[in-house]
Amino acid sequence: MVEKSRKNKKEIELIQKLGELTQDLQRTRADFENYMKRSEVEKISAREAGQSSAILKLLPVIDNIERAITHTPSDLKDNKWVQGVTSLVKNLEKSLDELNLKRIDAKPGTIFNPDLHEAILFDEDSEGEQEVIAEEMQPGYTLNGRPIRHSMVKVTRK
């Protein structure tokens, strides 16, 4: 009888130990799955940060090329070299578009959005209820839907 009682006690202890080990295993599995998800998010975030950093370094170069094209003298518009540079900008824009870099819409008349636009000038004499863009001073861009450089704009009321 004493031996049977010891066996039951031993069985109960083993069942409790099995339950504890099962719970530990489930917690460890859940922790590992959370770690894998977190590390994947961190990898994506690091990749996007690196991509964003590289693109931000290229944007001033793109701005200067666009300014040069805008200020091309009219007698050189048909020059093959000028056309080649213009073509280069189009190829660059296509490549950046493939990286999901989009230019922020900041045409005159567009409604001012502080999440996308940075007002560096404001027409104090204008009247109206709605703030709109009067002029884009420097283009802004979004990368994967998030702004990486705001458009610098002149704002007026309409």
In this prediction, residue 69 carries a pLDDT of 87
Q: d(Cα 137, Cα 53) in Å, to the nearest integer?
A: 22
Instruction: Name the average pLDDT for the chain.
Output: 91
- What is the C-alpha to C-alpha distance for residues 97 and 91, in angstroms, rounded to an integer? 10
Strand partners, 102: 142
Task: Please name which of 110, 94, 112, 99 lies closest in space to residue 142, comparing C-alpha atoms.
Answer: 99
Which of 5-19, 45-59, 107-121 bottoms out in mean pLDDT, i.e. has the lowest?
A: 5-19
- Distance, C-alpha 151 to centroid of its chain: 15
How far is it, in rounded angstroms, from Cα 75 to Cα 4? 108
Domains within the chain, CATH numbers bracketed: 102-158 (2.30.22.10)
- How far is residue 131's CA from residue 114's CA, in Å, rounded to a whole number? 11
Q: Provide the pLDDT confidence category of residue 127 given band limits of 50, 70 and 90.
A: confident
Q: How many CB atoms lie within 10 A of CB 154?
A: 16
Lowest mean pLDDT among 1-5, 29-33, 122-126: 1-5
User: Model's pTM, two decimal places?
Assistant: 0.72
Q: What's the confidence (pLDDT) of residue 155?
A: 94
